[in-house]
């Protein structure tokens, strides 16, 4: 067997390979990922383990942009690294990891335990970044939601109440139904390191997967936009929750406004819990709303030479494929 770099002639075979290896994942998501790979040029970082025109392993990639100390550059998210079930234990994973040494512009999130142990010994310039943590916030109906998950049918809820405006005392959030109406701010936080979040990103990430029902709100205070957030209903460990999929603010102090708005959406729709995956560190327990940090961590690593081990990047569920892999 050999490792080759993907080209468009392998598109259909790779898609069928992913369908076979991920029977429980949405085909809509896998199709979207393949299309993003092709549209962003990620095929140039996608590796295939092949023999006799058959794929036995792969790692798929999509390109994005990142600003590091004022300089923008491209990088790729490495995802969907998998070996055919019939070929595991034969060293094919190590072949893939070794082949990654041809590139030094990678970020990846959510290693398996075995990959986290193996990759540092194989991949050059492997650097561990601040991990992604999981947080759950409790709303008015949290106790009822947990009970319902045990004793009632698991019929999927709908976010039936989606107000055009969430009005608070001195700020508000307006719902964005047309991506073209979203403020086209490329980098929101003005951090030393930040992943791009412009309108083009939104079109590629949130507009092309209609069944996921993403809901976007933009925050306004004193007539100026201070950030946005994106939510969708998900199921995590058998419990239906509202997921804070993505957010950005011009100043971290505004993040509390987003947390309150999300729990407000939970309460008016009688959804008891919201969940958030983020690399931002928060206390074990915080308030307004009550939020608990779970023990789970999703490891993050990079081969970008400009980044250090302590580089803090805001990563959310919208990055890589966290939104699709870690809950339904």
Peptide bond preceding 289 in cis form (omega within 30 of 0): yes
**pLDDT 10s digits, 238-284:** 888 999 999 999 999 999 999 999 999 999 999 999 999 999 999 99
pLDDT tens digit sequence for 153-181: 556 667 889 999 999 989 999 999 988 89
Q: What is the C-alpha to C-alpha distance for residues 108 and 106, in angstroms, rounded to an integer? A: 7
Interacting residues of 136 by C-beta distance below 8 A, sequence separation 6+: 241, 273, 274, 275, 276, 291, 292, 294
Helix (H) or strand (E) holding 233: strand 224-236
Q: What's the token pair of residue 230?
A: 């994106």
User: Is the separation of the CB atoms in 155 and 203 below 8 Å?
Assistant: no
Could you tell me which residues are beta bridge partners of residue 221?
224
Q: Report how far residue 52's alpha carbon sits from residue 143's, in angstroms, rounded to the nearest whole number.
A: 56
Report the candidate in 322, 72, 320 with the shortest Cα–Cα distance to residue 194: 72
- CB-CB contact of 301 with 221 (8 Å): no
Cβ-in-10-Å burial (0-12, 13-18, 19+) of 28 comes to middle
The structure tokens listed for 228 are 């946005």
pLDDT string in tens for the chain (328-residue length): 899 999 999 999 999 999 999 998 888 888 988 999 999 999 999 999 999 999 999 999 999 999 999 999 999 999 888 999 888 888 898 999 999 999 999 999 988 788 888 888 899 889 999 999 999 999 998 888 777 777 765 566 678 899 999 999 899 999 999 888 999 999 999 899 999 999 889 988 887 665 458 999 999 999 999 999 999 998 887 888 999 999 999 999 999 999 999 999 999 999 999 999 999 999 999 999 999 999 999 999 999 999 988 888 999 999 977 887 776 6
């Amino acid at each position: 067997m050999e490792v080759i770099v993907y080209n468009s002639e392998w598109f259909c075979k790779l898609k069928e390979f992913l369908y076979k290896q991920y029977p429980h994942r949405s085909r809509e998501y896998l199709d979207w990922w393949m299309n993003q790979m092709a549209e962003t040029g990620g095929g140039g970082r996608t590796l295939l383990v092949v023999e006799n025109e058959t794929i036995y392993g792969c790692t798929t990639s999509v390109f994005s942009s990142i600003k590091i100390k004022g300089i923008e550059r491209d990088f790729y998210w490495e995802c969907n690294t998998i070996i055919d079930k019939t070929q595991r234990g034969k060293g094919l994973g190590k072949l893939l990891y070794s082949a990654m040494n041809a590139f030094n512009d990678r970020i990846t999130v959510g290693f398996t335990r075995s990959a986290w142990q193996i990759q540092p010994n194989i991949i050059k310039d492997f650097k561990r970044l601040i991990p992604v943590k999981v947080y759950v916030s409790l709303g008015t109906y949290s106790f009822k939601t947990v009970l319902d998950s045990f004793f009632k049918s698991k019929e999927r809820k709908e976010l039936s109440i989606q107000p055009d405006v969430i009005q608070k005392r001195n700020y508000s959030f307006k719902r964005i139904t047309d991506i073209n109406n979203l403020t086209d701010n490329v980098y929101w936080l003005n951090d030393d390191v930040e992943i791009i979040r412009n309108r083009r990103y939104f079109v590629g990430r949130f507009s092309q997967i209609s069944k996921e029902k993403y809901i976007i709100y933009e925050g306004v205070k004193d007539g100026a936009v201070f950030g946005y957030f994106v939510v969708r209903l998900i199921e995590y460990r058998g419990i239906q929750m509202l997921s804070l999929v993505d957010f950005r603010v011009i100043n971290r102090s505004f993040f509390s406004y987003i947390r309150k708005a999300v729990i407000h959406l939970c309460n008016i729709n009688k959804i008891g819990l919201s969940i958030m995956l983020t690399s931002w560190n928060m206390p074990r327990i915080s308030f307004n709303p009550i939020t608990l940090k779970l023990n789970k961590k999703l490891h993050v690593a990079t081969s970008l030479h400009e980044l250090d081990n302590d580089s803090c990047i805001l990563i959310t569920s919208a990055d890589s494929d966290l939104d699709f892999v870690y809950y339904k």
